[in-house]
């Protein structure tokens, strides 16, 4: 009996030891998995922070140069016309109220070889379905139908109030969508999952339909078509990107010009008019406020509702995003100019209504550009350069004044497609998935029932995403983000070198990690975790200090001719986007060519505005790029010549 008991005890102890090993192994695997996932999440988060910080810095640059773009329009536009990007000799007729749809048919011929959708007005659901089918197959809508659609859309929008009031009693649920930014696949996926707009399926699209993505034109055509079919069941709020100057910088203008070469000017001009008539906000059941950006401690909904969005002429009444001293409009050669949502101004005729007051400017500025923050108070939005940061107390006060329950806004990238803040009172909804890079984020939309309880639907367009592991997807996002960051570092090389020198009085070329991080932030002002990013950007010397120049290690700015001074090449690289906008303003005939004299004068104005020392070496450079010596240069080739080259990538390519 004793031996049997001993044997059983021995077997029991062996089993216990085996079980203990299994548990230990499971714990090790679990810890490894958690550590791996934590590292991946850290990489994902700082990569998205890089994308967003660079995006906001770019917006800030745009706004800071808005008054210069105004100056350019003032001085480069003939007194009886608008810049080429917005008009042509025949376009004044397009926006004439007496000019009906039949005129388009008489003036623009649709050839028999065109096999795309053919529209007739009033539109029907069959027309909308034909558009969806065509765009899925990458077909274009003919320019005649585009112009007709825009003209009809303008007529409908002009009858709408600044703030649209909706009720859930007329439909079971209302769907709210955020930024789409030209991502057609997201819109098609939303319609697939949620159904097409109809009398039983009401939608609110909360601005930023265009820019960045490659199918902005298709998105607004679809949205405007459904607006015409169901004006009481599809609603559009204006976003900060429904603006002609932002469109010049972020791709929509270029997209339209490329897709509609012969009638691009007319389409752009009419689009600018249509954008100016978009409503500013929507209120559901007197409880839910929907607007694009946010609010401030001075937001006055009654005041906003009473504003005149536009008058008979094609002019926007959207405010500047600069400080008060920049809010005054200019008067050049007897022509008044009105500020747009990007802070630029527009040429205008003498029959316009009085210019908007600073209060009107600020009211609309705040609702288009502001972002929520967890801290109480209302402070300037320094990251974007326009609008404000508003805290929970600002939200609570607005709700108290207007008896509101919920604020739905967009305007801000969110990794999961939405975010809830201010104790559940503010919801950010962002509907563009894969916004920065394939796999970078989900999109989402909100379903509101009669009880006004939000239900979130997330999605992600996954043409390629599902084929890759999480580690591969994070690696792709991180690689792209770091590439953009390195290019920005290279474009500020001179300033960074000077900042490093301040922490290195002995000229060793090495500084502490803390000093390196401080120098990077002082110059780039991106509010990034530089100490974490250091291992990806710069090398450590044996003494534990950062080798300052190693962060420029595999980067250089391409130079078309050897004689170009590095400082000049750096300046041209840094301001390429701004120069592209300026050159497009100058290039009135859209030839892609500008004269050497125009180029030289523009550069002098630009450097003077920015406080950059003018270099005569640019004149020599421009002359050297006039390859056929006809006195003109191709400015697209000129700008492309100055870009950041990744030396390692260049070696691989070669």
Catalytic residues: 241
Measured N-to-C along each axis, helices 470-491 and 2-64 cross at an angle, to the nearest 10 degrees, of 30
For 271, list phi and psi in degrees, rounded to 5. -60, -40
Please spell the DSSP secondary structure of 625-650, one letter per residue.
T-TT-SSEEEHHHHHHTS-EEEHHHH
458: how many CB neighbours lie within 10 A of its CB? Answer: 13
CA dihedral 95, 97, 99, 105 (to 10 degrees): 70
- Cα separation values, 398 from 62, 293, 299, 540, Å: 30, 15, 8, 51
**Cα 498 from Cα 303, distance rounded (Å):** 49
Do strands 555-557 and 644-646 pair parallel, antiparallel, or not at all (unpaired)? Answer: antiparallel
**Cα 272 from Cα 87, distance rounded (Å):** 10
Q: CA nearest 430: which of 206, 271, 242, 147?
A: 206
Residues 6 or more apart whose CB falls under 8 angstroms from that of 550 comprise 538, 539
Residues 6 or more apart whose CB falls under 8 angstroms from that of 319 comprise 327, 339, 341, 356, 360, 361, 362, 363, 364, 365
Which helix (H) or strand (E) covers residue 175, if one does?
Answer: strand 174-177
- Cα separation values, 182 from 129, 186, 276, 606, Å: 19, 9, 19, 31
Residue 353 CA, chain-centre distance (Å), reads 31
- Cα separation values, 372 from 246, 368, 388, 436, Å: 22, 12, 8, 21
**Cα 323 from Cα 385, distance rounded (Å):** 9
**Cα 199 from Cα 187, distance rounded (Å):** 19
326: how many CB neighbours lie within 10 A of its CB? Answer: 16
Q: CA nearest 585: which of 352, 344, 365?
A: 344
Residue 93: CA count within 13 A, CB half-sphere = 11
Instruction: Name all contacts of 582-588 with Cβ < 8 Å and 24+ positions apart.
Output: 582/69, 582/72, 582/606, 583/635, 583/639, 584/84, 584/85, 584/248, 584/253, 585/69, 585/72, 585/73, 585/76, 585/77, 585/83, 585/84, 585/85, 586/72, 586/76, 587/84, 587/635, 588/76, 588/83, 588/84
Q: How many helices (H) and strands (E) does the chain have?
A: 24, 23
């Amino acid at each position: 009996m004793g031996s049997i008991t001993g044997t059983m005890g021995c077997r029991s102890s062996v089993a216990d030891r085996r079980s203990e090993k299994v548990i230990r192994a499971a714990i090790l695997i679990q810890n490894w998995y958690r550590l791996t996932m934590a590292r991946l999440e850290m990489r994902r988060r700082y990569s998205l922070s890089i994308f967003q910080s660079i995006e906001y810095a770019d917006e800030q640059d745009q706004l800071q140069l808005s008054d210069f773009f105004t100056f350019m329009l003032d001085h480069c536009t003939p007194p009886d016309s608008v810049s080429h990007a917005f008009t042509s000799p025949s376009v004044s007729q397009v926006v004439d109220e007496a000019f009906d749809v039949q005129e388009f048919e008489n003036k623009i011929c649709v050839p028999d070889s065109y096999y795309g959708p053919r529209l007739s007005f009033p539109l029907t659901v069959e027309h909308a379905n034909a558009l969806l089918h065509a765009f899925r197959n990458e077909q274009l809508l003919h320019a005649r139908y585009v112009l007709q659609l825009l003209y009809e859309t303008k007529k409908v929008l002009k009858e709408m109030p600044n703030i649209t009031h909706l009720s859930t009693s007329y439909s079971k649920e209302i769907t709210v969508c955020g930024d789409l930014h030209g991502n057609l696949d997201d819109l098609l996926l939303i319609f697939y999952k949620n159904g097409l707009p109809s009398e039983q399926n009401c939608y609110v699209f909360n601005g930023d339909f265009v820019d960045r993505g490659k199918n902005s034109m298709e998105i607004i055509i679809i949205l405007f078509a459904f607006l015409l079919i169901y004006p009481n069941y599809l609603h559009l709020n204006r976003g900060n990107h429904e603006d002609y100057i932002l469109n010049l910088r972020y791709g929509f203008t270029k997209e339209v010009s490329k897709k509609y070469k012969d009638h691009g000017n007319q389409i752009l001009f009419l689009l600018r008019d249509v954008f100016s008539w978009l409503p500013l906000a929507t209120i559901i059941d007197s409880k839910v406020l929907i607007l694009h950006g946010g609010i401030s401690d001075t937001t006055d909904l009654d005041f906003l509702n009473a504003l005149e969005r536009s008058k008979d002429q094609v002019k926007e009444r959207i405010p500047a995003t600069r400080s008060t001293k920049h809010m005054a409009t200019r008067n050049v050669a007897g022509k008044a100019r009105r500020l747009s949502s990007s802070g630029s101004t527009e040429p205008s005729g003498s029959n316009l209504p009085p210019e908007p007051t600073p209060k009107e400017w600020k009211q609309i500025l705040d609702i288009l550009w502001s972002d929520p923050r967890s801290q109480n108070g209302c402070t300037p939005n320094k990251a974007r350069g326009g609008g404000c940061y508003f805290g929970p107390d600002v939200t609570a006060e607005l709700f108290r004044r207007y008896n509101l329950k919920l604020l739905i806004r967009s305007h801000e990238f969110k990794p999961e497609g939405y975010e809830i803040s201010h104790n559940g009172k503010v919801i950010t909804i962002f509907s563009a998935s894969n916004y920065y890079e394939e796999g970078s984020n989900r999109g989402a939309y909100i379903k509101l029932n009669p009880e006004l309880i939000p239900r979130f639907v997330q999605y992600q367009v996954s043409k390629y995403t599902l084929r890759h592991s999480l580690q591969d997807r994070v690696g792709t996002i991180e690689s792209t983000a770091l590439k953009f960051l390195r290019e920005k570092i290279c474009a500020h090389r001179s300033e960074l070198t000077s900042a490093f020198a301040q922490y290195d009085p002995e000229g060793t070329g090495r500084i502490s990690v803390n000093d390196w991080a401080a120098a990077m932030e002082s110059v780039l002002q991106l509010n990034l975790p530089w100490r974490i990013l250091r291992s990806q950007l710069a090398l450590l010397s044996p003494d534990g200090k950062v080798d300052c120049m190693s962060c420029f290690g595999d980067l250089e700015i391409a130079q078309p001719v050897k004689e170009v001074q590095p400082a000049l090449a750096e300046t041209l690289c840094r301001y390429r986007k701004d120069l592209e906008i300026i050159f497009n303003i100058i290039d009135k005939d859209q030839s892609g060519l500008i004269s050497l004299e125009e180029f030289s004068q523009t550069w002098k104005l630009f450097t003077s505005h920015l406080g950059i020392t003018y270099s005569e070496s640019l004149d020599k450079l421009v002359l050297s790029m006039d390859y056929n010596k006809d006195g003109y240069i191709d400015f697209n080739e000129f700008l492309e010549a100055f870009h950041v080259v990744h030396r390692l990538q260049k070696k691989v390519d070669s």
